[in-house]
Amino acid sequence: MKHCEYQQIDPQALSTPTPTLPPQHAVVQEEKKGETARRKWEDFPGKNRFYCDGRIIVAQQSGVLPLTLGLILVTTVLFFVFDCPFLLKHLTVFIPAIGGVLFVFVVISLLQTSFTDPGILPRATPDEAADIEKQIDNSGSSTYRPPPRTKEVMINQQVVKLKYCFTCKMFRPPRTSHCSLCDNCVERFDHHCPWVGNCVGKRNYRFFYTFIVSLSFLTVFIFGCVATHLALRAQGGRGLMFALQESPASAVELVICFFSVWSILGLSGFHTYLVASNLTTNEDIKGSWSGKSGTEDTGNPYSYNNIITNCCSVLCGPMPPSLIDRRGFMPVEESSQTVATEIELAAKNEINVCQLVLCLSVFVCMAHHHPPLGGQLSGLCSVLCWLMSKCTQGTKDLLESASRSPCPQTGKPQTVSTSCPDSIDPADPAVTFNPDVTPDPVAVPSLKCGGRHHSHTTSPPDEPRQLHHHHHHNRHHKTRSARSSSKRAALHISNPAYNVSLSPPTSPGLGPSHGTGAEEHVRDSFATLH
């Protein structure tokens, strides 16, 4: 197996600034290769969607945002149509006025929460990622185990661990977390809110807080007004049923408000506590600063230990700019672009071939689960994977379609799968690719979990540790762009098969190439580890 193939292509000449490309943009890029300037949002690697030429950013799934908007609109409209005339006549004109102001506040802050960039950190450029890798290697331990991907910094005389994000290829700044739904690292990550259909982070937390506070005011206000309305109608001994018959819409509003007021008020109270102590939901849930480990040293290092200062800094602090520069133009580099477009053209032609190859390989692997044939099949699969690795641009499309194809997993992995989260990130080609293709049951969990390894705080189980480490080592040493990621996947297939030492492949043609390729690869990883 020829591992040197991918090394000959210089990633610096090939790669566009973004390391990964979503599949639909791959097609768009080929169509647009004649145009000169593209905006950066068109090549955004995360799972966000953009509207109005990059001015509006939302998460991939709008979640329940339409429901939220719908409920608010319906309740308020019903209130204005059915309750306000009565209350206007019998009480005061301020009631609709206050209701109107609150409603406007709620809708505006909701839309701002949903459509604002929460504080997404752009992914590291290939040069940066390489520099970080170099630093990690230099400070690595001398044991066989690769260095842990954490870095410790002192913040306000307290030790804080920074984790390495494998997707974004950088050490996450403090309080930053990677949202798997949006596939982005978000600064001061609070949570991903399905009600607003976006992450809540540094830049839109104040909008979110305004939204829930004004919504709780609005809900309480409407509830109170409707109750007053019904009470006034039911006066004079006529009874509540009579009042409800006269104004049935009020019943609807009452029900909606009654059920939402508890949750909204609770949420507002919770977030007020978070704001006052300068915490995020993420930190609070994980108990980062509550001293769970029992050391006296923990305490929130970001808090100013003063409620007012905390509130002011969170809500009234300076508004940081958006770091992803959605509407900026992509830098045009002539030499790299021509090479890139050539590769894209070639990739497009190879897509059909690769799809055929993939289907064949999946079929072959699925057809036989026999361990004695495992070696031969792994060899066959690695050849097929090498063929697939020739496809550069189109591979990601393929992998996404492969993940959606109804191929059940080949083997039942042992204990490892339980430690891995269920959601596989389909954007990560190494994760998507392997479970469908490899016949090796032990290889499956290591590769399946590889993409999620960064989310684990505990170390992986001992048994497939070797495989985990080879996987990660391969990823970080040999890959620079999405085009190389397919080659990364190819490397994995051969490596675990080699490590697990299955019965030697019966076909001599496949054997030597397979063996030497994996050997060279393992030798290389050993050399770098020691």
Partner 1 sequence: RFHNLQELRHSASLANKVFLQRDYSDGTTCRFQTKFPSELESRIERPLFEDTVKRLNIYYAEAEKMGGQSYLEGCLACATAYLIFLCMETRYEKVLKKIGRYIQEQNEKIYAPRGLLITDPIERGMRVIEISIYEDRGSSGSCSGSSSTSGSSAR
As annotated, the active-site residues are: 193
Q: Residue 16: phi, psi to the nearest 5?
A: -80, 165
Question: Least distance to partner 1 from the beta carbon of 7, Å?
Answer: 10
The conformation of residue 322, written as its DSSP 8-state character, comes to P
Q: Residue 232: phi, psi to the nearest 5?
A: -65, -40
For partner 1, give the closer residue by CB, 126 or 197: 126
Question: Least distance to partner 1 from the beta carbon of 514, Å?
Answer: 27
For partner 1, give the closer residue by CB, 104 or 359: 104
**Token representation of residue 38:** 């593209």
For partner 1, give the closer residue by CB, 294 or 318: 318
Note the residue count of the chain. 530
Q: What is the CA radius of gyration of the chain?
A: 28
- Cα 82 to Cα 246: distance, rounded to the nearest angstrom: 10
Beta strands at 184-186 and 177-179: parallel, antiparallel or unpaired: antiparallel
Residues 6+ apart with CB under 8 A from 145: 465, 469
- Cα 211 to Cα 111: distance, rounded to the nearest angstrom: 9
For partner 1, give the closer residue by CB, 478 or 514: 478
For partner 1, give the closer residue by CB, 324 or 430: 324
CA dist 62 → 10, 23, 50, 198, 264 (Å): 39, 20, 12, 7, 20
Structural contact between residues 211 and 64, judged by C-beta atoms closer than 8 angstroms: no
Question: Least distance to partner 1 from the beta carbon of 104, Å?
Answer: 7
Residue tagged 């403090």 (tokens): 174
Question: Least distance to partner 1 from the beta carbon of 386, Å?
Answer: 23
Question: Least distance to partner 1 from the beta carbon of 131, Å?
Answer: 5
Residue tagged 């059940």 (tokens): 408
- Cα 520 to Cα 318: distance, rounded to the nearest angstrom: 54
Question: Least distance to partner 1 from the beta carbon of 155, Å?
Answer: 6
**Token representation of residue 518:** 């994996």
- Cα 437 to Cα 365: distance, rounded to the nearest angstrom: 6
For partner 1, give the closer residue by CB, 186 or 381: 186
With residue 109 as reference, give the H or E element that holds it: helix 94-115
Question: Least distance to partner 1 from the beta carbon of 494, Å?
Answer: 23
For partner 1, give the closer residue by CB, 465 or 477: 477
Chain contacts with partner 1 (rule: CB under 8 A) = 10-13, 104-105, 108-109, 112, 121-122, 124-128, 130-132, 134, 153-156, 160, 162, 170, 173-175, 187-188, 206-207, 210, 301-302, 312-313, 315-321, 323-325, 480
Residues 6+ apart with CB under 8 A from 226: 79, 83, 250, 253, 254, 257
